[in-house]
A = this chain, B = another copy of it.
Amino acid sequence: MNLSRPSVHPVEAPPFTDAVAVADDRPLLRMKDLQGMPGTLGGLVLRIFQLVFAVVSLFVMASTSDFPSVTAFRYLVAVVSLQSLWSLSLAVVDVYCLLVRRRLRNCRFVCLFTIGDGITSTLTFAAACSSAGITILIDPDLNKCHWNHRARFETATAMAFLSWFSVSPSFLLNFWSLASH
């Protein structure tokens, strides 16, 4: 609040301050209300879920010997690695914000987080869908003669989907807070 208050007419001060406070509190109230944004406990929980699902997907996929034979599986491994790094770094930011008891309200940071979440969630969803197309939606006759680790591929795909499910709320909430700034 850099506006100077009208000190000449002290009678007028209350309505003036009220109007400005009401107008300025709206975005603040919205941002306070939404758990799941960066710097909140809900945001940290979302990040941990993303991280756990992405790491499990990565390890399950990497534990199979024949995943490099299919491009989609290699893509999935690359994408969930990126996703886990991104979620880990933002989880660290969330922990820091919770420790110093501050919210992240900087517009640049929120913009950066929104873009990053949008990119990683799109990539993860694309990887999960293409893997699902190969492991599940394809003709079973074609499938069973080729792969021995179908259950593991399906598990990795499901974990990538779950990781995407937990990235999407982060992205939408960040985008929401960016728009209501």
Partner-B contacts on A (CB < 8 A):
3, 6, 8-9, 11-12, 15-16, 19-20, 22-24, 69-72, 75, 122, 125-134, 136-139, 142, 146, 172, 175-180
Residues on B with C-beta less than 8 A from A126 are 125, 129
A16 partner, pick from B15, B132, B146, B177, beta carbons under 8 A = B15
Q: Which B-chain residue is minimally distant from A132 (CB atoms)?
A: B130
Partner of A138, one of B72, B172, B175: B72
Indicate if the CB atoms of B19 and A138 lie closer than 8 Å: no
Which applies to chain A's interface (DSSP): helix, strand, loop or mixed?
helix
A133 to B139, CA, bound (A): 13
Contacts of A142 in B (CB 8 A): 142, 146
